Amino acid sequence: MTEETGGSAGTAIRVLLAAAAHPGKFGRPLVSFGCVSSTNDAALELAAQGAPEGTAVVADQQQRGRGRMGREWVSPLGGGLWCSLVLRPALPLRELGPLALVGAVAARAAIGRTAHVTCKVKWPNDLLVGGRKAGGILTEASGGSLLCPPDFVVMGIGINVNLGIADLPPELRDRATSLSIAAGSPVPVAGLGAALLAEVERAYGQFTETGFAALREEWIAGSETIGREVTVTGASILRGWAETIDMQGRLVLRLPDGRAEHIAAGDVSLAHAGSGSGPFAAGR
């Protein structure tokens, strides 16, 4: 494991560097920061400079962490695992639609291995624990086209690990959580980081070598979305039944009139489980 430090990295990150010496290439090199604008920004810069696939960036704190659609991701000092990975897939952009879901499969497995809490995935990129958001995935590509591979992709994974209730913004406390809140005790960031590197390498390798089919089944098995009545907000607002995801990672939404919409992007709101008002409630 190669350690490069861009600042004064905290104890959790130093331990992470020591613990992440698994035999694969992900996390080689691993660049750590005490504080950074965002790990994705740092990884994008490194990738543009030629950083190899598997380069990982971690930080104790992000000043401008972000999620999908430019939303702020609150990432205070020492409270979570803020990590971004440089990827160089030899696949055209049209085949990379499921990549964030691949990251979610990996993160869910890592959380289950180390935090011993049940993590679910919510389309398109959320990690839920106890029905509340504990993490998310953000992928950003540079270059490429529908028929050509990108120059690189950065996969950012943010997980609330040891945040307390008071660390969460008041407006998010009813729908966000952390692994330690769910587990009832602190969760080792080092172990989670090492497991995450190994699981992303496994899932990403499987995706690039054999496709999305098996990972799709793994995602569906851990999904909080599939089989639920949902509202999807994007270019328009659609309500229906989340039937499955397709091989491009799109949500297949069964509308009340029976039509199926394949949705590539949007925000999903889940109806209460067991509401019984979905389009299949009468036995469709």
Q: pLDDT value at position 11?
A: 42
Average pLDDT, the chain: 86
**Are residue 245 and residue 200 in the same domain, yes or no?**
no
Separation CA 247–CA 94 (nearest Å): 11
- Within 8 A by CB and 6+ apart from 220, the residues are 226, 244, 245
Separation CA 73–CA 79 (nearest Å): 12
Confirm if 196 and 30 have CB atoms less than 8 A apart.
Answer: no
Q: Is 54 left (phi over 0), alpha (psi -120 to 50) or beta?
A: left
Pick from 136, 187, 191: nearest CA to 163: 187
Task: Let me know if residue 9 belongs to a domain.
Answer: yes
Tally of CA atoms within 13 A in the half-sphere of 186 that contains its CB: 8
Confirm if 3 and 17 have CB atoms less than 8 A apart.
Answer: yes
**Are residue 147 and residue 258 in the same domain, yes or no?**
no
For 178-229, write each residue's pLDDT tens digit: 999 999 999 988 889 989 999 999 999 999 999 999 999 999 999 999 999 9
Separation CA 113–CA 107 (nearest Å): 10
**Are residue 15 and residue 146 in the same domain, yes or no?**
yes
List the alpha helices (DSSP H) in 8-149.
11-19, 39-48, 99-114
- Match 């750590």 to its residue by tokens: 32
**Are residue 212 and residue 103 in the same domain, yes or no?**
yes
CATH number for the domain harbouring residue 235: 2.30.30.100
Task: Let me know if residue 153 belongs to a domain.
Answer: yes
**Are residue 157 and residue 108 in the same domain, yes or no?**
yes
Using 50 as the pLDDT threshold, list the residues of the chain that sit under it.
1-9, 11-12, 15, 18-19, 69, 275-284
Q: 211: which 2 tokens?
A: 């496709």
**Are residue 113 and residue 144 in the same domain, yes or no?**
yes
Q: pLDDT value at position 73?
A: 56
Task: Let me know if residue 282 belongs to a domain.
Answer: no
**Are residue 48 and residue 77 in the same domain, yes or no?**
yes
Pick from 190, 159, 203: nearest CA to 20: 190
Distances (CA, A) of 134 to 57, 106, 249, 272: 20, 15, 21, 19
Q: pLDDT value at position 276?
A: 47
**Are residue 134 and residue 15 in the same domain, yes or no?**
yes
Q: pLDDT value at position 1?
A: 34
Pick from 123, 63, 62: nearest CA to 97: 123
Task: Look up the domain containing 158 and give its range.
Answer: 3-221
Confirm if 85 and 200 have CB atoms less than 8 A apart.
Answer: yes
Task: Let me know if residue 144 belongs to a domain.
Answer: yes
DSSP state for residue 72 in the 8-state scheme: B
Task: Let me know if residue 277 belongs to a domain.
Answer: no
**Are residue 13 and residue 138 in the same domain, yes or no?**
yes
**Are residue 233 and residue 93 in the same domain, yes or no?**
no
Q: 257: which 2 tokens?
A: 């009139």
DSSP symbols for 115-128: T-S-EEEETTTEEE
Q: pLDDT value at position 72?
A: 59
Beta bridge partners of 62: 36
**Are residue 204 and residue 265 in the same domain, yes or no?**
no
Structural domain count, the chain = 2
Task: Let me know if residue 279 belongs to a domain.
Answer: no
Q: pLDDT value at position 32?
A: 87
Amino acid at 194: A
Amino acid at 229: E
CATH number for the domain harbouring residue 120: 3.30.930.10
Task: Let me know if residue 283 belongs to a domain.
Answer: no
Task: Let me know if residue 194 belongs to a domain.
Answer: yes
Confirm if 26 and 197 have CB atoms less than 8 A apart.
Answer: yes
**Are residue 133 and residue 261 in the same domain, yes or no?**
no
